[in-house]
Structure 1
Amino acid sequence: MFDVPLFLRHKFAQVWALASEKLTSLEIGCVSSVMVTELLSPSLGHHRSPNHVRPPILPGIQRLCLSVDYITDTMVSTISNVLLSLTHLDLRDAPLIEPTSAYDLTNSGLQQINQHGKLKHLSLVRSQEFLITYFRRVNDLGMLLMADKCANMESICLGGFCRVTDTGFKTILHSCSSLYKLRVSYGTHLTDLVFHDISATALSLTHVSLRWCNLLTNHAIKNLVSNTHLKILDLRDCKHLGDGALRSISTLPELKILLLDGSDISDFGLSYLRGVINSLVSLSVRGCKRLTDKCISALFEGSSKLELQQLDLSNLPNLSDNGVLTLAKCRVPISELRMRQCPLIGDASVMALASMQVDEDRWHGCRLRLLDLYNCGGITQLLFWWLKKPYFPRLRWLGVTGSVSRDIVDALARNRPFLHVAWHAEELGSNQWDNSHGLYMHDYDEVDELEQLLEEGEYIDEEMMDVDNDAELL
């Protein structure tokens, strides 16, 4: 791990000339496209003679993940031609200004991808982090040219291709018969027609993400679920999907992760998921404004042998403490619970979770490792009384509002050194699609507070006395 901006451009390439030939995977979090191109170019720079040709840099690289300022034709062409063993290419950019033609990806650049025919995974994403911008110089022709050389591709991720229509996306689906993972974000022209005849293809998709594809309706999901082996389905921010989509999703027997943020689903619609709730490991309904407390009973009442570990109920204006009480009564074995920005959630919810027992375990709230209550309307300092031992012994991450007393937070930190309290509105946890960067997963296998409690037996909780006093005053 090192800081790329510390290197002068010509020094950067020289440093990588020393890299081991055995290096197979390289990830750089922030680097300019010019530096990447110069790194992989055959000449070491202006200080060498024009006839000097260096040996190949990084000859064994199979997996390359880069976050750059601009994804350009020149960079893509250089990567594709020089890295002979490349099987996994992941490129993401975040432009500060709208790219010019010389610093952008076009149809010509897409035609250069996979020159050696070994690529299995391709990800090209234009981030909206600093500027609302897209790959405006790529259209359906670019997808056709790329698909012609990517017939053996197994995973494709495309983000920000605003000029690609159903024709271009269908070309990918019908050309890449080995495709099992498809991710499209900001597909502004992607409609239901893309999946109209998907059952006629040889595809067996298991991972599908269609985020910010606002033209999709329930009909698209009805056709998509002909891939009955779907395990991950990410439909976040597809605002026109409703209960009809849930009815179709209920037929997927192997579904593990379902993300429905911002969709138009109802409490009754969630009852369709009864058929798959026993197999689900992660469910997110963040920002589904029509949901109320009844959605909890619609999902969980009467269910048994649940495997659900991650549940996101954030930004639900009609979810109250009563809904969380129902959740606790159903003994859902959740390890990560997010309820950010819920104005009706208060201390009573924390009390209910603290008292929840799963599988007759005598340790209260023992399954929760992450609890995000940032900006919940009814949370007071009384919350911290319920966070002292022996409650929530496995809790590692806690999200609270920034207005909470810092003294109380510090007292909690001293009392529970393995608990990280976030109070600046930051999101907790890792992305469901990619746990490789896990922000907190590494803590799970470290010292377990519950095991300490079992070993120590009875204890006197002296450091939380001040917190108790504050709670009594409240």
Structure 2
Amino acid sequence: MFDVSFSLRHDFARVWALASEKLTSLEIGYVSSVMVTELLSPNFELPQSANRIQPSILPNIHKLSLSVDYITDAMVGTISKGLTSLTHLDLRDAPLIEPRVTFDLTNSGLQLINQHGKLKHLSLVRSQEFLFSYFKRVNDLGLLLLADKCEKMESIFLGGFCRVTDTGFKTILHSCSTLYKLRVSHGTQLTDLVFHDISATSLSLTHVSLRRCTLLTNHAVTNLASNKDLKVLDLRDCRNLGNEALRAIGNLHNLKTLLLDGSDISDLGLSYLRPRVISSLITLSVRGCKKLTDKCISALFDGSSKLALQELDLSNLPNLSDNGVLLLARSRIPLLELRMRQCPLIGDTSVVVLASMLVDEERWHGNCLRLLDLFNCGGITAVAFRWLKKPYFPRLRWLGVTGCVNRDTVDALARSRPFLHVSCHGEELGAEQWDTGDDFHMHDYDEMDELEQWLQEGDYESGDEEMVEAENVAEAME
């Protein structure tokens, strides 16, 4: 790992001219598109020098992932022509200003992709990080030209193609017969019609993400659910989706990840996930689903057998209270990650309940949780921090709280638990939420955690009155 942003353009090319031919995968967090083009250009020369630099074109690179200032036709063409073994191409840009035509991706650039016919995974994303910008010079014709070169494509991610309509997206679905991962974000013109006849295709989709495709309705999800092998379904910010969509999803018994942030679902809708789907789910997010109440917990988990659920996001639910957390604790689900940020009715009682939670008779209090996000929860006071101290939550690695509650208390907690990352500025905990790849995300924790250290040192005994109180709370929950 090193920072290429301080490199001069010619120095950058010289460094990579020395790269091993055995290199098969390259990821650069940020580099200018001009530097990429010059790196791979066989005719690049240093100015004021008679010695021609012949940069290595990295002949054995199979996977290339770049974050650039602009995705341009010139860069895409140079990559596609020069990297003859490329099977995975992941390009993301984040423009600071609206790009001119010479510094943008057009229909012509899409036609240059996959010149050697080996590409299986393609990702082209325009990020909205600095500017609400889109690929305004790409339309349905561009996707038609792309589809002609991508018959063997297995995974496609298209983000920010605001001028592409149902015609363009359907062309991809009907041309790429081996496609099993489809991701579209900010598909402002994508409607239900794209999936109207998807059951008539030979596709067997396992991963589908349609984030911020705001024109989609329940009909699209009903048609998508004909792919019974779906494992990942990301429908974040599809605000027109309601309970009928959940009724269709309820038949996907192989589903592992379900993200429904900002949708119009209710407590009744979540009950459609029981029993088939909820028993297989590992990750569930209902962040910002305003209609949900405490009853959504019982709708999901009442009467369910042993569950595999590890990550649950209940953030930004104005009607979720401590009573809902009590119901969650009674279900004894061995959660690793629980997010409840921006819930005004969540308070100290929730922390006490979670600290007292026993997953089974042989596990320590609250020991399963690795991540707990309580940022800006309305009822959290300094009292809750007594229950965040040793010996409670011994496996906790990430904690989100509001620092202004008691900054001295927050700092003291961080000092007393060196294994714990305490965040009080509102940032998402761990890696970027749900956006690390097509598969569901699992945090990578250190080999030894705090509980293991305490047991090794014989230091897990506590005579605090709080431990007695915790046991009383646990008994009261039974």
The aligned counterpart of 2:284 is: 283
How far the C-alpha of 1:289 sits from its partner, in A, is 0.3
Task: Give the alignment of 1:215-226 within 5 angstroms.
Answer: 215-226=215-226
Q: Secondary structure at the match of 1:258?
A: strand
CA contact (8 A) 2:18 2:56 kept: no
d(CA) in 2 for partners of 1:64, 1:327: 43
> Given the alignment of the two structures, is residue 301 of structure 1 paired with residue 302 of structure 2, yes or no?
yes
For structure 1, the 5+ residue unaligned runs are 466-474
Query: Which segments of structure 1 move beyond 4 Å, counting only runs of 4 or more?
Result: 48-53, 435-440, 458-462
Cα deviation digits, residues 255-299 of structure 1 (max 9, x gap) = 000000000000011000102101000000000000000000000
d(CA) in 1 for partners of 2:377, 2:6: 42
How far the C-alpha of 1:116 sits from its partner, in A, is 0.1
Cα deviation digits, residues 193-237 of structure 1 (max 9, x gap) = 000000111100000000000100000000001110000000000
What RMSD in Å do the two structures reach over aligned CA positions? 2.2
CA contact (8 A) 2:211 2:237 kept: yes
Q: Secondary structure at the match of 2:291?
A: coil
The aligned counterpart of 1:90 is: 90
> Given the alignment of the two structures, is residue 410 of structure 1 paired with residue 411 of structure 2, yes or no?
yes
For 1:405, give the aligned amino acid.
Answer: N
The aligned counterpart of 1:310 is: 311
Q: Secondary structure at the match of 1:135?
A: coil
Cα deviation digits, residues 316-365 of structure 1 (max 9, x gap) = 00000000000001111111000000000000001111111112234011
For 1:350, give the aligned amino acid.
Answer: V
CA contact (8 A) 2:41 2:55 kept: no
d(CA) in 2 for partners of 1:64, 1:319: 43
Q: Secondary structure at the match of 2:312?
A: strand
Task: Give the alignment of 1:10-25 within 5 angstroms.
Answer: 10-25=10-25
The aligned counterpart of 1:472 is: none
CA contact (8 A) 1:264 1:288 kept: yes
The aligned counterpart of 1:138 is: 138
d(CA) in 1 for partners of 2:292, 2:427: 24
How far the C-alpha of 1:44 sits from its partner, in A, is 3.0
CA contact (8 A) 2:391 2:460 kept: no
Which TM-score applies when normalising by structure 2?
A: 0.93
Cα gap change, 1:50 to 1:186, in 2 (>3 Å): farther
d(CA) in 2 for partners of 1:129, 1:68: 13
* Corresponding pairs, count: 464
d(CA) in 2 for partners of 1:121, 1:270: 33
d(CA) in 1 for partners of 2:348, 2:120: 49
Cα gap change, 1:185 to 1:167, in 2 (>3 Å): same
Task: Give the alignment of 1:17-416 within 5 angstroms.
Answer: 17-47=17-47, 52=52, 54=54, 56-274=56-274, 275-416=276-417
CA contact (8 A) 2:126 2:160 kept: yes
Q: Secondary structure at the match of 2:387?
A: helix
How far the C-alpha of 1:51 sits from its partner, in A, is 10
Cα gap change, 1:435 to 1:175, in 2 (>3 Å): closer
CA contact (8 A) 1:260 1:284 kept: yes
The aligned counterpart of 1:470 is: none
The aligned counterpart of 2:474 is: none
Cα gap change, 1:73 to 1:214, in 2 (>3 Å): same
How far the C-alpha of 1:433 sits from its partner, in A, is 5.0
1:432 to 413, 428, 434: 434
Which TM-score applies when normalising by structure 1?
A: 0.94
Cα gap change, 1:405 to 1:461, in 2 (>3 Å): farther
For structure 2, the 5+ residue unaligned runs are 467-478
Q: Secondary structure at the match of 1:334?
A: coil
d(CA) in 2 for partners of 1:404, 1:229: 46
